[in-house]
Chain A
């Protein structure tokens, strides 16, 4: 309803029109809620929203699945109850207030049955149009598979390193033997060279002696 048309209406019509507007707005709000609910249910990433006091006020299906808590159970629960690293989580949320977001922070989620799941936490601050803090949105990525793969890889690397170290040791041993032999050969060559020189000198000496004897005889 615009101002111009409102001016031509009688009060009854204006009220009727306003009622219609309210009805339409309510319907739109209801549709929006359904849309958000469907979207939130579809998203496979666990998401929850917190009050400014770090208390869970909403959570999607994926969050309920990973935490094993129903919405009725989690709503009203301080978020740190669900995590192993309580102090780190508080520090992350404090940082979010200053920096507006936090990305890929590794924490451990403890489910209702006590199962510990390593998750990568991302958080963002919620503010209203006036800039007042409304709370936080938290999203979690289950990194247990990644962690498992990483630890398997680390184990493989450690095994390979051990194997390589053993090979290196063997090589060193061979090297030591080879080098020892070479050094001995060098020594022998030196000895041969020395002996050869000695022999040459002896030969020269013998030639000189023979020559001298020959001269004396003549």
Chain B
């Protein structure tokens, strides 16, 4: 699969929202680590049944792919691996640990405040859709609130992202992090809001 080939389904059009291949790469690593190679092949078959042609081994981490693959990949993995919502959150928690882009941001991992300033850039390096920002950070009370606008794929992605965001904070603080989605577009609110405590 070549992300730039005009013949390929996964080549995003100019107007289409996209995500970086690194996200799909972390999906692959989760499946391989927890369920093995066979499961990954079954995920690819499941995607094919959904009409999505995706070969995880061919994904280039820094290339852009259509945003539809985010949800399709998650749904197929959830179905094939029989993941609970909590396991989807765990999958999101693992993802930044394998992301080259996140590692490049490690220089800001001196405090949650420092990372929070980079959150919008970090988001844009992964997605061309949506906007993520830190609404508030209180280092003393060990609390941060993140706000995600313009990203309304599916509640499954909300669960995945809650794990993802808590993992970033965990990588900064080295402590256990609890996360709660306090606002959600799928509950009729204008944007997603995540409250993180560590």
A-side residues, CB < 8 A to B, are 23, 26-27, 29-30, 33, 49, 51-55, 57-58, 70-72, 75-78, 126, 128, 132-135
Contact = CB atoms under 8 A, between A and B. Distances in A.
18 contacts: A26-B63, A27-B60, A29-B62, A30-B60, A33-B61, A33-B62, A53-B174, A54-B174, A55-B172, A57-B106, A58-B103, A70-B33, A71-B98, A72-B33, A75-B97, A76-B97, A77-B174, A78-B174
B4 interface: yes
Interface of A is mostly: mixed
Interface centre among B60, B61, B96, B174 (most CB of A within 10 A): B174
A51 B4 contact: no
A54 B171 CA distance: 10
Contacts of B123: none
B174 A72 contact: no
B171 A76 contact: yes
Interface centre among A54, A75, A126, A135 (most CB of B within 10 A): A75
Given A71-B98, A76-B174, A53 B62 contact: no
Given A30-B63, A53-B110, 10 more contacts: A26-B64, A27-B60, A30-B60, A30-B61, A51-B106, A52-B109, A57-B103, A57-B106, A76-B174, A133-B107
B97 A128 contact: no
A133 B167 CA distance: 22
B106 A134 contact: yes
B100 interface: yes
A128 B108 CA distance: 11
Interface string B61-74: 11110000000000
Given A30-B63, A76-B167, A52 B103 contact: no
